Structure 1
Amino acid sequence: MNGLTAFLEKYFVPVAAKIGSQKHLVALRDAFISTMPITMAGSIAVLLNAFFRDFPTDWGWTKFIEVMQPVVDINGYVYNGTLAIVSIIFAFSLGYNLSKVYNVDRLAGGLVSLVAFVMNLTVTVSLDTVTGALKAADANFDPSSLPSEFAGIYGFFNMGQVNGTGLFTAMIFGFLSTIIYAKLMLRKITIKMPESVPPAVSKAFAAIIPALIALYVVGIIDWAFFKITNMDVISWISKSIQEPLLDLSQGYGAVLLVTFLVQLLWFFGIHGPNVLAPVLESLWGTAQLQNISAAQDKAELPFEWVRGSFDSYVWMGGSGGTIVLIIALLIFSKRADSRAVAKLSLGPGIFNINEPVMFGLPIVLNTIYLIPFIVAPLVMVTIAYFATTLGIVSPVKIAVVG
């Protein structure tokens, strides 16, 4: 056992530590974490509507639904401003956090990333289509009677691309545009203003050239891609990259491997979910957002295993399901030091914070705990995975904080 630990410390831990500190992956991780207040607000809105609309509908409580309709409508507003546009929110967050690790203007970086993503959205209905439909419905319709706000409108964005469907596009073009912007800022390819100019104005002018170049690069890519393939970039990414990866994430092997790696990293004191956050959030997190959107629309859930599935069934109390260990220590342990650590760890453990027991017991680098710490979550994820895929329990459709 000591030999295995030494081998892993020598060859595995350094690689994991480098991955965990790689600045682009750190920015991606922090971008997902930064959106948590928004995603949780949207998830709560969906959860409340499940109790005020969905379940009562199944039970035939029509009067209750009528009374609660104002609450349902308010929850709909919250959802539309959060999870329904989560890709837009994430795009800004990614640009902001990338600019942070490059130490350039964060607000400008966030805006560049946001605009780069919006440039990829497709137009679903043109003004000509709208007027054509109105003429078909009423032969006497006069297009000039439309409100002035419609004048010059080319079309409307496809709002189905700004929820979880657009996350991969937001990642790819967020990285591309923000890195170009940051590199140019660091090379001082900027407009320099006199020192007498207020700092806010000076920073804004300094970002003009880097932002302009970054966005034109994205625009050229979008234009060339459509000319060559006759297909928009965001649809191609969704079909060719996002959907295959999401399908792959639903396999038992992928779920088991991620669970194993999280436990192994934690054994060496490396925060497994943080290191693997780019994978967990971009794959299972995206799947979770699509499940939440489907639940809001009362549609069939597209995915069986999502990000919240790990927290609900495998990492309750923190990675390794340590809340169970804490309870066992409090009930059965006769060692004063172990019981003291368990008492201190119980409160945080209820909220999935398990650092006190990980480092206080300790579990980290304690070969006595190595096998149960790794094997127990593998057993739990196996039971939960097959219980979900066999239809014994429903897939997770509400965000769970882990």
Structure 2
Amino acid sequence: MSGVISGFERVMMPLAARISGNKYLLAMRDAFSMLLPFIIVGSFFGIVQWVLLDPWGTVMGANGLNLGTAFTGLDTAGDAYKNSQFVHSMQVIQGLCNNVVTVGFGVFSFLLVAAFAYRLGTIWGGDPFANALTALGAFIIVTPQSVGDVGAFDLSYFGNKAVLTAIIVATVSSKMFINLSKNKKLTIKMPDTVPPAVANSFAVLMPVFITLFTFTLFSTFLAQMEFMGSKALNDLIYALIQAPLMGFSQGIGFSLLYQGIVWFFWWFGIHGHNVTAAIQNMVYMPAQLANQSGDAAYIFSNGFFEAGLMHVLGLLIAIFLFSKRDSWRAVAKVGFPAMLFNIQEPIAFGLPIVLNPLLLIPYILAPLANTIVGWLAVSAGLVPIFKYVVPWTMPLFFGGTIGTGSLAGGILQLVWLAMDICIYAPFVIAGNKIKDTEEE
């Protein structure tokens, strides 16, 4: 077994190091991380809007807590309730909440262009701020500026459907702008007496002009040619790439493969979610955003997989119940508080799980089993989709409940935990036969 592990290590460690250390992928990960506050705040107001304030929703409606009737004394199914001042007030506040939700989700791709281009400007040696502004200009140029006969932007071109468009535009415009900026022949030099801010603006004037003009020509060409009936870059990319990826990623086979890769890398001591960040950001994050905005109902999303991070908690409970190894029990006691918030590193490296052949099978099998059971539960309608974005550190039960907007989500996490305990238990019992090195 040690020979097999060594062979895998020789092959996988350098590969994983190259992937996780790739500056472009790191910039992409950082860009999504920069937007997490907007997503979480938008999700919070979304929960308030759709769960707490909806006059016919989970809290106010007859199918939920029915507080609407308790507050007004009216039947929530009647016209009197519909036309009441209470409902009107709830809808006004819902509208205010929706403005914040729009910032977190409706213009997510617009914000992503700025964040990603800023990070690319940093790693590629350009002016990050000027690069981000140029990328935003390029993104606006390729975005249709009309809704029907009215001159206005369609927010659907700024939301979850434009994630790949945002990544591509930010990448191409950044590469073009930074390369042009490094060409001294295109740099307009101002006298030393000119303020630095003005001098820097003139220095990037020609690179900005050439970059934006190039995107203008491309956008005009695309609108005239109408490839596959698409007049906009986003429509073409969504039809050719993102929509097929989203559909393909919703298959149980692809999802199991994704989970297997993530946790296999973790077993090697490599941050599996960093290695697979490109898949997560291009596929499962847009699926989460689509669920949140109500544009779609994807089973497999970022929230679905983050709700299953707690499978290592099943290992700790199995250790408390069945382990006779003092070292394991000691590490489990120390790591338990952190694991309540889905932080597994103290256990992964302290037990250790990393490169431990005894725990390889359950460590990968548990999240795969969770994925299958979660898929069956959501497909059967027993559990709602994971609609709302919650921090991945949210404790067990609360994360599933808030993420789905239903107690069924929290119960699903408890079912997962019971399964995980059963999966880890035989291997923990087998570990009792292996004496601790300290005892020897």
TM-score, with structure 2 as normaliser = 0.78
- The alignment's C-alpha RMSD in Å is 2.2
Name the aligned partner's letter for residue 222 of structure 2.
Answer: F
Paired position in structure 2 for 1:205: 202
Residues 297, 385 of structure 2: 8 Å contact kept: no
Aligned length: 366
Residues 94, 113 of structure 1: 8 Å contact kept: no
Paired position in structure 2 for 1:151: none
Query: Greater shift after overlay, 321-330 or 87-96?
Result: 321-330
Paired position in structure 1 for 2:408: none
Paired position in structure 1 for 2:144: 122
Paired position in structure 1 for 2:220: 223
CA shift in 2, pair 1:73/1:331, >3 Å: farther
Residues 323, 346 of structure 1: 8 Å contact kept: yes
Q: What secondary structure, in the 3-state scheme, does the structure 1 residue paired with 2:188 have?
A: coil
Q: 363, 369, 377: which is aligned to 1:373? A: 363
Identity of aligned residues (%): 33
| In 1: Cα distance, 2:183 partner to 2:279 partner | 32
Q: What secondary structure, in the 3-state scheme, does the structure 1 residue paired with 2:146 have?
A: strand
Shift of the alpha carbon at 1:351? Answer: 2.3
Q: 188, 193, 202: which is aligned to 1:191? A: 188
| In 1: Cα distance, 2:190 partner to 2:350 partner | 54
Shift of the alpha carbon at 1:58? Answer: 5.0
Residue 274 in structure 1 maps to residue 279 in structure 2: no
The one of the two structures with greater contact order (alpha-carbon pairs below 8 A, sep at least 6) is 1
Query: Greater shift after overlay, 117-126 or 330-339?
Result: 330-339
Paired position in structure 2 for 1:283: 283
Shift of the alpha carbon at 1:3? Answer: 2.6
| In 2: Cα distance, 1:45 partner to 1:387 partner | 27
Name the aligned partner's letter for residue 52 of structure 1.
Answer: L
| In 2: Cα distance, 1:195 partner to 1:359 partner | 56
Shift of the alpha carbon at 1:93? Answer: 0.7
| In 2: Cα distance, 1:284 partner to 1:32 partner | 12
TM-score, with structure 1 as normaliser = 0.84
CA shift in 2, pair 1:185/1:375, >3 Å: same
Residue 307 in structure 1 maps to residue 329 in structure 2: no
Paired position in structure 2 for 1:38: 38
Paired position in structure 1 for 2:130: 108
| In 2: Cα distance, 1:100 partner to 1:351 partner | 33
Paired position in structure 1 for 2:52: 51
| In 2: Cα distance, 1:121 partner to 1:169 partner | 10
Runs of 5+ consecutive residues of structure 2 not aligned to the other structure:
72-85, 393-440
Paired position in structure 2 for 1:262: 262
Post-superposition Cα deviations, 1:221-264, rounded to whole Å, max 9, x if no partner, equal 11111222262221111222211111011001110011000011
Q: 133, 153, 156: which is aligned to 1:157? A: 153
| In 2: Cα distance, 1:5 partner to 1:196 partner | 65
Post-superposition Cα deviations, 1:318-357, rounded to whole Å, max 9, x if no partner, equal xxx2122233334444444333322332232222221111
Q: 341, 344, 350: which is aligned to 2:334? A: 344
Shift of the alpha carbon at 1:170? Answer: 0.7
| In 2: Cα distance, 1:48 partner to 1:334 partner | 47
| In 2: Cα distance, 1:117 partner to 1:278 partner | 21
Q: Please show how residues 71-90 of structure 1 align to structure 2 within 5 Å.
A: 71-90=93-112
Runs of 5+ consecutive residues of structure 1 not aligned to the other structure:
131-154
| In 2: Cα distance, 1:263 partner to 1:116 partner | 38
**TM superposition outliers: structure 1 runs of 4+ over 6 Å:** none
